[in-house]
């Protein structure tokens, strides 16, 4: 796919933002599958809950598990864009659920993944914030400065790579609503519905599909003594 027109130029390289990557019907289908996920499949964290599909990434290699067909459709859709240069096709999906007021602390995705992140948002918008990685002695410093923000609309696809993967931390503030006029780098690529009114948009529950490649996989070996 030719990404011209989808690259966000007001922030460091590289961000691609594609609004309406999936249709409302596809979004509803995803949400209803997630809704039916058995409770024990979820890992409940303090400020969100998550499900791993494709296996659990591990330094010794991920024991690959088959991704269910309804979800593999979207992994294929992302792979077909040529985002992950094969043979680095995506093989893992992390499903995160955020209720209003929930978020994720500043982090990088680290060395277990091939350094490209693709994220499909469903159900609600959110605002992804970026800060710079700090040195050890800076750790105690005052709250980390937010350098720029991206608005992730429902049904959109976000792709992050290069220095944005390696040098910047990303996070979602634990807010019930977002002010959308302030330092949003991809604002001109967003839907018009967000460009009217008072720019204060309430969050509703959001499901994100973070689609990545885990390069190191292993076949499970069972040892019987
Ligand atoms: O929900 C999102 O869009 C971000 C998720 C994320 O950063 C992660 O799971 O590493
Ligand atoms: Fe992340």
Identify the nearest ligand to the CA of 172 by its number.
Answer: 1
27 and 35 in contact (C-beta within 8 Å)?
no
158 and 152 in contact (C-beta within 8 Å)?
yes
Structural domain contains residue 222: no
Q: Is 124 in the pocket of ligand 1 (CB under 6 A)?
A: no
User: Could you give the ipTM of this predicted complex?
Assistant: 0.99
Summarize the chain as % helix, strand, coil (round to 5). 20, 30, 50
Structural domain contains residue 177: yes
Q: Is 104 in the pocket of ligand 1 (CB under 6 A)?
A: yes
Domain that holds residue 89: 15-215
Ligand 2 center from residue 222 Cα (angstroms): 32
Structural domain contains residue 6: no
Predicted local confidence at residue 180, as pLDDT: 84
Predicted local confidence at residue 1, as pLDDT: 80
pLDDT digits (tens, 9 = 90+) for 171-190: 999 999 999 875 799 998 99
Predicted local confidence at residue 43, as pLDDT: 97
- Which ligand 1 atom is nearest residue 109's CA? 10
Q: Which of 53, 108, 119 to mutate to test the pocket of ligand 1 (most atoms within 8 A of CB)?
A: 119
Apex CA 202: angle with CA 196 and CA 206, to 5°?
115
Q: DSSP for 185-210? A: TTGGGS-GGGGSTTSEEE---EEEEE
Show the low-confidence residues of the chain (pLDDT under 70).
135-143, 182, 192, 195-198, 220-225
Q: Is 170 in the pocket of ligand 1 (CB under 6 A)?
A: yes
Structural domain contains residue 114: yes
Structural domain contains residue 3: no
Structural domain contains residue 123: yes
**Whole-number Å distance between alpha carbons of 122 and 97:** 10
Structural domain contains residue 5: no
- Cβ neighbours, 10 Å, residue 221: 6
Q: Which of 49, 210, 211 to mutate to test the pocket of ligand 1 (most atoms within 8 A of CB)?
A: 210
Predicted local confidence at residue 195, as pLDDT: 66
Q: Number of folded domains in the chain?
A: 1
- Which ligand 1 atom is nearest residue 48's CA? 1
65 and 55 in contact (C-beta within 8 Å)?
yes
pLDDT digits (tens, 9 = 90+) for 74-100: 999 999 999 987 788 999 999 999 999
Q: Which of 104, 157, 165 to mutate to test the pocket of ligand 1 (most atoms within 8 A of CB)?
A: 104
Hey, whose CA ends up nearest to atom 3 of ligand 1?
208
Structural domain contains residue 221: no
**Whole-number Å distance between alpha carbons of 103 and 98:** 6
CATH code, domain carrying 19: 2.60.120.590
**Does pTM top 0.80 for this prediction?**
yes
């Amino acid at each position: 796919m030719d990404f011209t027109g989808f690259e966000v130029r007001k922030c460091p390289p590289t961000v691609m933002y594609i609004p309406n990557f999936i249709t409302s019907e596809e979004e509803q289908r995803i949400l209803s599958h997630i809704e039916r996920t058995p409770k024990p499949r979820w890992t409940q964290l303090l400020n969100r809950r998550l499900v791993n599909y494709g296996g659990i990434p591990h330094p010794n290699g991920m024991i690959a598990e088959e991704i269910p067909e309804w979800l593999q459709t979207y992994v294929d859709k992302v792979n077909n864009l040529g985002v992950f240069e094969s043979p680095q096709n995506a093989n893992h999906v992390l499903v995160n659920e955020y209720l209003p007021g929930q978020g994720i602390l500043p982090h990088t995705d680290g060395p277990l993944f091939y350094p490209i992140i693709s994220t499909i948002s469903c159900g609600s918008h959110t605002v992804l914030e970026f800060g710079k990685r700090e040195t050890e002695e800076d750790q105690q410093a005052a709250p980390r400065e937010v350098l720029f923000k991206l608005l992730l609309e429902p049904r959109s696809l976000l792709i992050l790579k290069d220095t944005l993967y390696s040098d910047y931390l990303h996070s979602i503030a634990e807010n019930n609503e977002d002010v959308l006029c302030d330092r949003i780098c991809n604002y001109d690529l967003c839907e018009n519905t967000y460009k009217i009114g008072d720019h204060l948009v309430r969050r509703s529950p959001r499901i994100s599909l973070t689609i990545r490649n885990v390069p190191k996989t292993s076949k499970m070996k069972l040892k019987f003594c």
